[in-house]
Every structure is written in structure tokens, then in C-alpha cells.
Amino acid sequence: MKHEFPADFLWGHATSSYQIEGAHDLDGRQPSIWDRFCETDGKIEDKSDGRIACDHYHRWASDLDVIKNLNAQAYRFSVAWPRVVPTGTGPLNAEGLAFYDRLVDGLLERGIEPCVTLYHWDLPQILQERGGWPERFIVDAFNDYTEHVVKGLGDRVNMWITHNEPWCASVLGYENGEHAPGVQDVYQAMKAAHHLLLSHGTATEIIRGHVPDAKVGITLNLCPAYSASPSTADEKATRFFDGTFNRWFMDPLYKGSYPQDVIEERHRLGQISEPTLDYVLDGDLKTIATPTDFLGINYYSRAIIRDHSIPESENEKRTLHDPPKAELTDMGWEVYPEGLYDLMMRVHQDYAPASVYITENGAAFPDQIEPDGTIRDAHRQQYFESHLAQLHRAIASGVPLDGYFAWSLMDNFEWAFGYTKRFGVVRVDYDTQKRTIKNSGKWLRDVYSNNGF
């Protein structure tokens, strides 16, 4: 075997609650910011929503059989806050938690390790009405919600992820408004990011308090940035992009500080009135930097950065990193597996987390069922293969990578793109809810069975 992975490497698939569950108003669930956002004109490409999605709320048992059939050792899913605490704060909704109870038992019965994400973007709408993530009260609310979930599942779940992609939850949700709740205000987004990070730190302690052997981490979507040219202007723009996208989250988590150069640039750009962060209170950074057991990384593509204030004609060297023949996924994202290697090395060298998991990696491509029932999604399979090869290389270079979760188990509600993008290794026919394993899923099954390829 050319690419053999370490003996105890964990292989799994990932999903999130709003993208698959459906059952939007069953057993006491109240609306999340995504239910509300989907009702807003022009926000979702196909005008769809997550009311039914993959109907996983009813089909969970057969879906777990599919995961088993795919030979996965672990399954990463998220808990829906508006199911478990529909009022946002306050009492537990036992019927809501019971769904995850069944799910966890069902996984353990099948010998699959549950990996729980506490927050994958479905904030109770009622909390957004009080200001949502930009307001500090949200940290206590998240703590209480965490406590309910951990008390209910902590006797059987060891692997915990506090937040999924705080960059998306803050920037897409509160800065450019492409995601729920659709706010467009950079300062609100900065505050949201801070409270997401702060609540990660406090929740980490809560989880540890109830689950002594817990492995706790946070998942970030990190994006390696490459300058479009060696010009000073492009290099500077690249540093700022990296600063807002990667270092803004990694520095507080691993160094206990926000990057000063980014604070100054934000001030120069008028994003903050003083070169300080007035919403950061004493002790916050220490809490955010609470040591964790692992870092979860979601990787899809890289970024090529240019300073747009400089006319293209004045910068002839700009094509340095432009990939004229690059393959793009259905999301328009460049397929760039080497970026994953570069990213792993950078994180290892600059921040040295003791353990890393790839908690999402995958690609959207259109696919179809052939008359013989197969789904020949060669592009998706090739994407997995090339990215796993880079991860194998990173392990050989000393990165402590302990597991890999493919995104996604099945086609699902892809946020602002609705059902127009298919990321699954299992195809979902949304009319019949029939599941069909794609060739990429079969290929991954072999990888997972053989611990390599």
C-alpha cells in the first residue's frame, strides 16, 4: 500500500443538524436563525429551507446502517440547540435531547464512535432577537445549553467539538450577511467571533467537568493564502487576509492574544475606532486559550490574494500564483490539495496543537445515477484521493494528525446554496429520500477498511 496511515487513525464521516435533520417543528423544536433566514427573499439560491432536508430525524437508524456499511469508525454530527433548549436559555426539552440519545446509542450499538459538535450554526432565533452572538449574554446561554447536552450524552460521548467554523458563523453571519442571521456590520462580526471563542473556552471547562476523559476541541475552517504576486501590495493584502481568516482565531486559541498587526489595520480601515478591542474583558483571552485536546480543521481550498486597489495592468508579475488550468468544484473552489499540506505544516510549526483532526474535507460536484444504479463521481473520488495523499505526506513530515472526517456523509442542505450543491458520498434523492452510495463512498470504504490506499 502506497499510503498507509497510523494504526489508530480515526476514519469517519461528518454532517450537521440543520443540513440533514428536517423535522423543523417536531417534539418541541423552535425556529433557529436558519429557519428565519430561509424565509427571507433572495437569501437561498433555490428558495429552499431545512424543514425536511434529508429527513434524518426519522431515518436516523437506516442512516446509521449506511455509515456502518461505509466502514466508518466515527461519525461527526451536531446537536441542534433549538431542539434541546427551544427557549434558548432555561429548561431542557427532554424530547429534543432524546433524539440525540437514540442516535448515540445507535452509533455505539454499531461500534461507531460519536463525535458531537455543539454548535454548527443553528442558533435559536429567540436568542438572535436579543442580539445573538455579538452580545455577551450569549456566552452564559451557550454554557447552559452545553451543560444540558453534556449531562445527557457525556456518559457515552468522549469526543466533543465546541464550535464549527467561528469564521463562518461570525463573518458570513454578521459581516457580509450571506449566512443567517444576515447582518452586515463588521464590528458586530468581530464581537460575534469573540463570544464564539470565549464560549468555546467556557464550554471546554464544562465538558471536562462532566466527562473526565473527554477529548475536547474546536473546529476552524482554515485557508492557506498565497500572494498573487511578489509585489509589496499583494504581500500585504495576503498578510491581512491570513490575519483575519486564520490568525484571528488561531492566535487567541493558541497564543492568548489577537494579532496586533490586524487590529491596527482594522483601525486604519475604520472597522474599529481605536486600535484596541473594547469588547475584550479581563480574563477573556486566558479563557479562550484554555488548553484543548485537539484542533479540528476543515479544509476545502486555498485563497490567492491580490491588492485590488492596484490596477492589473500595473502588475505584470501577478500571474505568479494564478492557476490558469485549475480544476474548480461546483462551488467554484479551486482543487488544490497541496494547500492542505502547506496548511498542516504551517499550523504545526506556528501553533503546534498536540493533536489534529481533519473534521471536514470534500467536494461538491454534480452527479447522476446511471441506468445500472451506480454513481460514477470520479471527480469527488479524485478529490479525496489527492487530499488524503497530502495528509499522508503531512504525517510523514511530523504532523500529529489523528483522524479524518469526509464531508459529507450524504447530500444535504448546503446553506445559501440550498440543495443545488451535492457534497455527499451518499446520494440523496430528495423526492423519495432514497440513499445511494456513490463510487467515492465505496472508494473511501476501502480506504477506511485498509487504513490507507
What does the binding site for ligand FCB look like in residue numbers (CB under 6 A)?
Answer: 16, 19, 164-165, 168, 221, 298, 360, 407, 414-415, 423
CA–CA dist 293, 213 (Å, integer): 10
CA–CA dist 396, 394 (Å, integer): 5
CB 364 within 8 A of CB 423: yes
Burial of 95 (0-12, 13-18, 19+ CB in 10 A): middle
Beta carbon of residue 120, minimum distance to ligand FCB (angstroms, whole number): 6
Residue closer to ligand FCB, measured from CB, 19 or 30: 19
Residue closer to ligand FCB, measured from CB, 164 or 381: 164
CA–CA dist 44, 415 (Å, integer): 7
Residue closer to ligand FCB, measured from CB, 297 or 437: 297
- Maximum alpha-carbon separation in the chain: 64
Helix (H) or strand (E) holding 241: helix 232-242
Q: Which residue has the cell 447552559?
A: 144
Q: Is 165 a residue of the active site?
A: yes
Beta carbon of residue 414, minimum distance to ligand FCB (angstroms, whole number): 6
CB 77 within 8 A of CB 15: yes
- 283 C-beta neighbours (distance < 10 Å), count: 10
CA geometry: angle 255, 294, 300, nearest 5 deg: 90
CB 166 within 8 A of CB 207: no
Cis peptide bond N-terminal to 181, omega within 30: yes
Helix (H) or strand (E) holding 57: helix 56-69
Residue closer to ligand FCB, measured from CB, 179 or 266: 179
Q: Which residue has the cell 446553506?
A: 415
Beta carbon of residue 298, minimum distance to ligand FCB (angstroms, whole number): 6
Residue closer to ligand FCB, measured from CB, 50 or 152: 50
CA geometry: angle 209, 212, 216, nearest 5 deg: 80
Instruction: Retrieve residue 136's grid coordinates.
Output: 455577551
Instruction: Retrieve residue 395's grid coordinates.
Output: 504525517
CB 166 within 8 A of CB 364: no
Instruction: Retrieve residue 262's grid coordinates.
Output: 490586524
List CB contacts of 214: < 8 A, sequence separation 6 or more. Answer: 154, 158, 159, 160, 207, 208, 293
User: How far does CA 30 lie from the centroid of its chain?
Assistant: 23
Alpha helices by DSSP H, listed for 110-185, are: 125-128, 137-153, 166-167
Beta carbon of residue 312, minimum distance to ligand FCB (angstroms, whole number): 30
**By three-state DSSP, how is residue 205 classified?**
helix
CA geometry: angle 427, 296, 291, nearest 5 deg: 155
> Which residue in the list 21, 147, 360, 414 is annotated as catalytic?
360
Q: Are β-strands 434-437 and 426-429 bridged in parallel, bridged antiparallel, or unpaired?
A: antiparallel
Instruction: Retrieve residue 1's grid coordinates.
Output: 500500500
Q: Which residue has the cell 479544509?
A: 299
Q: Which residues are known to be catalytic?
A: 165, 360
